[in-house]
A and B are shown apart, each in its own frame.
Chain A
Amino acid sequence: MSYLSFSRRWAGYLSRQTNLPAEQETVLTYIIEVLALTFLNVFLTLLVGAFLGVLPGTAACLVTTALFRHIAGGAHSNSPLRCAVVTIIIYPMLALLSTYFNRLGQGAVDMLSIVAFGVGMMAMIVLAPVDSVAAPIISTVRRKKLKYASVAFVMLVIVATLWFRGSQWQYAEMVRTCVALTLLWVSFMLTGWGHGFMAVIDGISLRKR
């Protein structure tokens, strides 16, 4: 098992304090790494969103992603640094893109939402859940449950969007567009193209020649 050094160090310290067996120490290392990377990514993404003036939209994108990525899975990067860069850039950009869609009027937002729900539903029915080498889904029963949950979440998002459509909240329109754009992004990450995109990100050389 390969984990980052900070999570190994923290887990080692905690397991020494509680006399934890080696197997449990690995589990501890895993969850520390997941939590630390998630908190760091969320914080930096919201910071960039706030800097660009699209904090509510960025938050809406993150909530939608949290709903789908966890259940439906998708393409992943091999590097936590590259993953952080992608996360920090993509969601504020989607929120920024939503402001342009909102300027086109409610008809355009409705059209975008319909397309996103159609694509999202198809992606969840056909592709979800997409596991990875680092987190394989072994049980077929579990795979089926995750697919049902993914489809159920698309329905939940449709209901939430309809509710936001009738809402007088000043950010309702932005949130609606962000949810639709994020659903399209999440669906893209389930496809072979999404995996290809992540492979390209992983293939970018950072060394100076």
Chain B
Amino acid sequence: MKKVKAQLFVLVVSALLFLANVTAAFGASCAITSYQPEVPEALRK
């Protein structure tokens, strides 16, 4: 059970990191809102 939980965390974090890369790579700003959180240095292109 503990192992499944750990794998689930890794899966969620990987999905979020992938999404962050996609969001930063294909856009000039976040989608709908008028507030732009600061894009981390690692994602700036």
Contact = CB atoms under 8 A, between A and B. Distances in A.
A70 B17 contact: no
A174 B7 CA distance: 46
Contacts of B6: 17-18
**A2, A28, A75, A198, most chain B CB atoms within 10 A:** A28
Interface residues of A, number: 59
Interface residues of B, number: 31
Nearest to A4: B37
Interface in B12-36: 12-13, 16-17, 19-21, 23-24, 26-36
A84 to B, nearest CB: 7
Given A14-B9, A31-B19, A23 B34 contact: no
A206 interface: no
7 contacts: A24-B17, A27-B42, A28-B17, A30-B38, A34-B31, A62-B32, A69-B29
A70 B44 contact: no
Interface stretch (A94-102, A114-122, A124-132, A159-167): A124-132
The dominant DSSP class at the A interface is: helix
Interface of B: 6, 9-10, 12-13, 16-17, 19-21, 23-24, 26-40, 42-45
Nearest to A13: B9
Given A62-B32, A77-B35, A34 B23 contact: yes
Nearest to A1: B38
Contact of B13 (A18, A23, A75, A80): A18
B20 A31 contact: yes
Which 9 pairs between the two chains have the least Cβ-Cβ distance? A73-B28, A83-B35, A31-B20, A129-B28, A70-B27, A83-B34, A73-B29, A17-B9, A135-B39
A65 B43 CA distance: 23
Contacts of B32: 38, 41-42, 62, 65-66, 69, 87
Nearest to B14: A18
